[in-house]
Structure 1
Amino acid sequence: MKKMILIACIGLSLAACTATERGAGVGAATGAVVGGVATGNVRGAAVGAAVGGVAGALIGSVEDQPGQCYYRDRYGRRYIDRC
């Protein structure tokens, strides 16, 4: 029961955020879990949270721009253009 209440509170707290904030939050949480499991220490979890947060914010920022997508050119550079 406590787990369900905790999950509901987290879900409701993310409902009021913008897409960029939600992406950063979900990315940081996922990165922390993956980094902690992969390395088995707190430093790995912290690095995973930082990388996941930045990646999530980048992905979430595209959601704030309807009709915009990330693309890569043949040189590996990323750019945003219409979908």
Structure 2
Amino acid sequence: MQTIKALTLGAALLGLAACGDTVGERGIIGAGAGAATAAAVDGDLATGALVGAAGNVAYCNRYPSRC
């Protein structure tokens, strides 16, 4: 079970590397990665989605050349 959680967490974190072309895409990709991460660590899915969306949008706005 720990292996599945670790793999899910890793996949979710890699999802944050795929920023998207628009702010909406960035938010959706981040929300998905955040929700997946929250599910992997038994956290609140809505909070994970919100934090993931905000984090991905903020990161891509700060470092556009990395997205």
In the superposition, the TM-score normalised over structure 2's length comes to: 0.53
User: % of aligned pairs identical?
Assistant: 24
Q: Relative contact order, CA 8 A, sep 6+: which one is greater?
A: 2
> Is 1:38–2:50 an aligned residue pair?
no
Quote the offset at 1:60 in angstroms: 2.4
1:22 paired residue number: 25
- Between the two proteins, the alignment pairs up a number of residues equal to 46
2:49 paired residue number: 49
Greater fraction of residues in strand: 1
Q: Which is higher, the Rg of structure 1 or of structure 2? A: 1
Greater fraction of residues in helix: 2
Unmatched 5+ stretches in structure 1: 1-14, 70-83
Unmatched 5+ stretches in structure 2: 1-19
Give a deviation string over 1:3-54, Cα, whole Å, max 9, x none. Answer: xxxxxxxxxxxx7x51x322221111000011012116xxx11111010010
For the Cα contact (< 8 Å) 1:25–1:56, is it kept in 2?
no
State how far apart, in whole Å, the 1-side matches of 2:58 and 2:42 are: 25
Moved over 6 A (4+): none
Root mean square deviation of aligned Cα: 2.5
3-state SS of paired residue (2:34): helix
